[in-house]
Structure 1
Amino acid sequence: MTRIIADISVSLDGFVTGPDSGPDNGMGTGGETLHTWAFSDDPDDRRILREATVRSGAVVLGRRLFDVVDGPKGWDDTTGYGAGEVGKPPFVVVTSTPPKSVRLTGLDWTFVTTGLADAVAAARERAEAASSAGGKDLDVVLMGGGATVGSALEAGLVDVLSLHLAPVVLGAGTPLFTGGASPRTLVRRSVVATSTATHLIYDVSR
């Protein structure tokens, strides 16, 4: 069964980027420390990254995050999705205006202009098709940014919340939760602590 998984790294004080983030400073000041775990040699970090990304049948992201990863200082062959642990799943971008050009032409991009729910639905179709073709269950991963993940949770679109809690306090930046969300019941499924992050997985009650 295809699940919708929100997967994101977050600081101890709840930020998914540092301050002053933008296309030329994607993670903001100090924000790169949030993803130290993804490049760690710790066997638990590697296993968690591998297991999460190998089930990625399609990936959803917001336009702001797309502008970062497709920007001149964005992804390359060593820092793309899954940090080398997975192939190239299709990517679905939520945006009001599709870009005129794409730098990362080797990736499969779909731009959805009719809202987050439609983007998730499009990604689910892609993931289910890949599941059927490959004979194994694949998921839709919401990789961010923070507003996209928060909006998906608020809209009841998320089945699983996977947080990678980095041992850092950023003080400012892009918050994962803005305080306006409706209450949600989470059921903790696993906790794995490494030297670089505490990996938390919750089932989300709709």
Structure 2
Amino acid sequence: MSKLRCHISISLDGFVAGPNQSEENPLGEGGERLHDWVVPLATWREAHGQQGGEVNESARIVEEAKENIGAAVMGRNMFGPVGGGAWGDEQWTGWWGDNPPYHYPVFVVTHHPRESVEMEGGTTYHFVTDGIESALEQAKEAAGGKDVMLWGGGHIAQQCLAAGLLDELELHVVPVLLGDGARLFPSRGEAEVQLEQVRAVEAPGVTHLKYRVVK
């Protein structure tokens, strides 16, 4: 059965982006450090049209994240631009250039309707205005029995956790303290989330913690 999976980098104090996010600094102050572990990897560089790179324990985790994915869901802030609002001239097509690294349908949850955008390499963005449940339903249908990846950001991941929609969560815990920014987990009293640890993998600059969401 198709599962909703989420892989996300997080600071030791629980933030998936730093404060003061902007179009110039989409991950907020200090947020880029959350991805210092993945950018040098050969598997990451290959997905972004680059050559070379490192191979370590994180490479296996990243490769595994790509397996059996048929579609994805992401929030408007993840797709951008930061701040949301109406689409204007509709020239914005995400942070990833003409050939995004997804290569499958991506369903963007937003309040503002827009026609689907087909990109190079098999990525098509669909814009969903009737909530996360609808986005997930459409993504599962498009995935054709494969899993759906929830790519973030923090707000939509928090919503999916609170709504009991998420099946697997892999946290890439980076030893930095951001102090403020976008949190992943719901505040106390908003939702009761139970996680069962599946594994823990140490790697340079990060610890990968995989959980099954208990329902």
Report the TM-score when normalising by structure 2. 0.80
Contact kept in structure 1, 2:71 and 2:142, CA below 8 Å:
yes
Does 2:192 align with 1:183? yes
- Show the counterpart of 1:21: 21
- Show the counterpart of 1:51: 64
Supply the RMSD in Å over aligned alpha carbons.
2.4
User: Counterpart of 1:16 in 2: which secondary structure?
Assistant: strand
Distance (whole Å) between structure 2 residues aligned to residue 162 and residue 154 of structure 1 = 16
Distance (whole Å) between structure 2 residues aligned to residue 148 and residue 112 of structure 1 = 13
Residue from 150, 157, 162 that aligns with 2:165: 157
Distance (whole Å) between structure 2 residues aligned to residue 5 and residue 74 of structure 1 = 22
How far apart are 1:43 and its partner, in Å?
2.0
Distance (whole Å) between structure 2 residues aligned to residue 184 and residue 72 of structure 1 = 34
Residue from 68, 82, 89 that aligns with 2:104: 89
Report the TM-score when normalising by structure 1. 0.83
How far apart are 1:98 and its partner, in Å?
2.9
User: Counterpart of 2:17 in 1: which secondary structure?
Assistant: coil
How far apart are 1:24 and its partner, in Å?
2.3
Contact kept in structure 1, 2:116 and 2:127, CA below 8 Å:
no
Q: Deviations over 1:86-106 (max 9, x none)?
A: x5121000111035796x733
Does 2:213 align with 1:204? yes
The structure that is helix-richer by fraction is 1
Instruction: Name the aligned partner's letter for residue 195 of structure 1.
Output: P
Shift in CA distance, 182/9, structure 1 to aligned 2, threshold 3 Å: same
Contact kept in structure 1, 2:162 and 2:186, CA below 8 Å:
no
Distance (whole Å) between structure 2 residues aligned to residue 184 and residue 73 of structure 1 = 31
Q: Deviations over 1:20-63 (max 9, x none)?
A: 11222111121111112222324211111111013221111011
Shift in CA distance, 124/50, structure 1 to aligned 2, threshold 3 Å: same
Shift in CA distance, 91/100, structure 1 to aligned 2, threshold 3 Å: closer
User: Counterpart of 2:57 in 1: which secondary structure?
Assistant: helix
How far apart are 1:141 and its partner, in Å?
0.8
How many equivalent residue pairs? 191
Does 2:97 align with 1:76? yes
User: Counterpart of 2:201 in 1: which secondary structure?
Assistant: strand
The structure that is strand-richer by fraction is 2
Shift in CA distance, 73/58, structure 1 to aligned 2, threshold 3 Å: closer
- Show the counterpart of 1:134: none
Shift in CA distance, 95/72, structure 1 to aligned 2, threshold 3 Å: closer
Structure 2: any 5+ residue segments left out of the alignment? 42-53, 83-90
Report percent identity of matched pairs. 39
Structure 1: any 5+ residue segments left out of the alignment? 82-86, 132-137
